[in-house]
Amino acid sequence: MKVRSNIVALSTLVVTVLLTVSLANTQAQPLAQATAAATSAATTAATTAPSTGNTTAATAAATAAATRATTAANTANTTLNVSCAQLPNFAALRAALISARQTPNGGFNLDMWGTIVNRDGVVCAVAFTGTNRGDQWPGSRVISAQKANTANAFSLPHLALSTANLYSATQPGGSLFGLQLSNPVDLAVAYGGIATQYGLAADPMVGKKIGGINVFGGGLALYDSKGQILGGLGVSGDSSCADHNIAWKTRSMLKLDFVPAGVSPAKDDNIVYDISGGTSSGGWGHPACSAEATTIGQSLATDYPISK
């Protein structure tokens, strides 16, 4: 009878391990769900199979096996799938950027640069809204890339930080002072290549890591409908407040605004205007640029609500 009980336990172990690994490897369920499902299946198998009273031992052994299998599966699934194919291409970025720029944004009504990077910080697309590269501030091309890199580099699957959120924290005495010096721009990437390709589908920055940190408005992390962070968007060419407003609208139009949480009062990554006497009351504030830009920024969560 003891042999029979051991066979039941062994059978349960095998079924549990196979089920856990299968569920994890196919990614049909998150690993936590796979573990729960495997453990439940093991318990059911152990309690319904014929035995001689060693059901508890069989279940415990099966559960332990499920945990070990899940740990192995979790290790195997740590590879992050990163690709520019997951993100909007040049045409999609340019179309959304133009649409956002054409709305009131509280700035100087200037043409804009926009850049998208993937989760590894590789530039996927660069575009401008004018008729040629000279219609926007030339220096804002690289700034837009810095902003995209920053928003991606300092946002997580569970917390988004916009470049606007970083302003106060990176000032002298702030909790992140010095951050803006931590990841310098790759100058060869920023200024290399043929200038006639700047802002076009073949922009020389595309396919390369730009680096750089920027700590005023215009950079936002990009999240898909599954809550996965795919990279970052950077916009530059107007006042920093208008840049943020345009970036927010561009992200909304690209439908990559499934923001999980943030440091703003609304718990998203919107710009925060809480600086008084040179100090941000919440620690994540951004200076005001104009009354109009402030009003528009504070209305973004209502007029262009993040997706859920």
Q: Which of 253, 236, 304 is nearest to 95 (CA)?
A: 253
71 and 210 fall within a common domain: no
Predicted TM-score (pTM) above 0.85: no
100 and 24 co-located in one domain: no
CB 222 within 8 A of CB 215: no
- 3-state DSSP call for residue 123? strand
The alpha carbon torsion through 114, 118, 123, 129 (nearest 10 deg) reads -20
Regarding whether 249 and 153 lie in a shared domain, the answer is: yes
Check whether residue 72 and residue 164 sit in a common domain: no
- In a shared domain, residues 60 and 107: no
Q: Do 61 and 161 belong together in one domain?
A: no
Question: Under 8 Å CB-to-CB from 3, ≥6 apart: which residues?
Answer: none
Distance of CA 231 to the CA centre of its chain: 5
Q: Say what the pLDDT of residue 40 is.
A: 55
pLDDT, mean of each 10-residue run, the chain (308 residues):
44 41 42 51 49 57 61 60 96 98 98 98 98 98 98 98 98 95 97 98 98 98 97 98 98 98 98 97 98 98 96
- 44 and 149 within one domain: no
- Which residues, other chains included, contact 231 with Cβ-Cβ below 8 Å and sequence gap of 6+? 86, 87, 116, 117, 118, 119, 124, 148, 152, 221, 222
27 lies in the same domain as 97: no
What domain range includes position 43? 2-76
Looking at 53, 76, 99, the residue that finishes a domain is 76
DSSP letters of 228-253?
Answer: -EEEEEEEESS-HHHHHHHHHHHHHH
Return the pLDDT at 14.
Answer: 41
pLDDT for the residue 15: 40
**At how many degrees (to 10) do helices 90-101 and 240-254 cross?**
130
Distances (CA, A) of 308 to 205, 213, 265: 32, 28, 17
Whether residue 212 is found in the same domain as residue 95: yes
Shared domain for 252 and 275, answered yes or no, is yes
Q: Determine the 3-state secondary structure of 116 from DSSP.
A: strand
The rounded distance, in Å, linking the Cα atoms of 1 and 8 is: 11
Domain annotation covers residue 308: no
Q: What's the rounded Cα separation, in Å, for the pair 159 and 288?
A: 24
What pLDDT is recorded for position 141? 98
d(CA 119, CA 181): 20
When divided into structural domains, the chain yields a total of 2
